[in-house]
Amino acid sequence: MLVLCTECEKIFVFKKQLDKCEKIWYNILMANKLEIYDTTLRDGAQGMGVSYSIGDKIKILEILSDFGVDFVECGNAFSNPKDKTFFNRVKNSKIVVFGSTNPAEIPALLSADTEYVSVFGKASSFHTEKILGISKDENLKLIHNSVSEIAKNGKKVFFLAEHFFDGYRQDPEHAVKTLQTAFDSGAMRLVLCDTNGGTLPHEIAEIVGKLTFANLGIHCHNDADLATAGTLAAVNSGVVHVQGTFGGTGERCGNADLSAILPNLALKMNYETNCNISKITETAHKIAEISNIKIPDKSPYVGAAAFAHKAGMHADGVVKCKASYEHIPPEAVGNKRNLLISEISGRALVIEKIKDVLPNITKEDERLRKILDMIKANEHFGYQYESAEASFELLVKRAIGEYKEFFNIKNYKVICEKTIRDKYVDTAVVKIKLPDGEVRLSVAEGNGPVNALYSAIRKTLKEVYPRIKKARLTDYKVRILDGGCGTAAPVRVLMESSDGEVSWTTVGVSEDIVDASIKALKDSLEWYLFSVDHHASYNNQND
Average the pLDDT over 111-121 and give the result: 95
Please say if the pLDDT value at position 322 is more than 90: no
Average the pLDDT over 337-352 and give the result: 68
Please say if the pLDDT value at position 10 is more than 80: no
Q: Over the chain, what is the mean pLDDT?
A: 88
Average the pLDDT over 310-323 and give the result: 67
CA–CA gap between residue 351 and residue 366 (Å, rounded):
13
Please say if the pLDDT value at position 316 is more than 80: no
367-389 pLDDT tens trace: 888 888 888 888 888 888 878 88
Q: Look at 417 and 118; give whichever has higher pLDDT.
A: 118
Average the pLDDT over 346-351 and give the result: 68
pLDDT band at 343 (very low <50, low <70, confident <90, very high): low
What global pTM score does this model have? 0.74
- CA separation, residue 510 to residues 86, 411, 412, 490 (Å): 52, 16, 15, 5
CA–CA gap between residue 207 and residue 210 (Å, rounded):
5
CA–CA gap between residue 209 and residue 9 (Å, rounded):
25
Element (H, E) at 267: none
| Rounded (5°) CA angle 111-127-77 | 15
- CA separation, residue 250 to residues 163, 236, 532 (Å): 16, 24, 40
**Do residues 499 and 465 touch, judged by C-beta distance below 8 A?**
no
Count CB neighbours of 134 within 10 A.
Answer: 13
Q: What is the largest CA-CA distance in the chain?
A: 91
Three-state secondary-structure class, residue 227: helix
CA–CA gap between residue 513 and residue 33 (Å, rounded):
56
CATH architecture of the domain 31-291 equals Alpha-Beta Barrel (3.20)
CA–CA gap between residue 253 and residue 236 (Å, rounded):
24
423-470 pLDDT tens trace: 788 999 999 999 999 999 999 999 889 999 999 999 999 999 999 999
* C-alpha dihedral, 391 to 397 to 398 to 402, nearest 10°: -140
Q: Look at 532 and 365; give whichever has higher pLDDT.
A: 365
Q: Residues in the chain, how many? A: 543
137-156 pLDDT tens trace: 999 999 999 999 999 999 99
Return the pLDDT at 346: 58
pLDDT band at 292 (very low <50, low <70, confident <90, very high): confident
Please say if the pLDDT value at position 192 is more than 90: yes
**Do residues 260 and 300 touch, judged by C-beta distance below 8 A?**
yes
Of the listed ranges 14-18, 33-37, 76-80, the one predicted with least confidence: 14-18
CA 467, chain centre distance (Å): 30
Return the pLDDT at 394: 94
Return the pLDDT at 372: 82
Domain spans of the chain? 31-291, 308-399
CA–CA gap between residue 3 and residue 5 (Å, rounded):
6
Nearest to 160 by CA among 190, 194, 199, 187: 190
**Do residues 315 and 345 touch, judged by C-beta distance below 8 A?**
yes
Average the pLDDT over 532-537 and give the result: 54
Return the pLDDT at 78: 80
396-433 pLDDT tens trace: 999 888 888 999 999 999 998 877 677 788 999 999 99
Return the pLDDT at 540: 40
Of the CA atoms within 13 Å of residue 223, those in its CB half-sphere come to: 11
Average the pLDDT over 60-80 and give the result: 94
Secondary structure letter of residue 341 according to DSSP: P
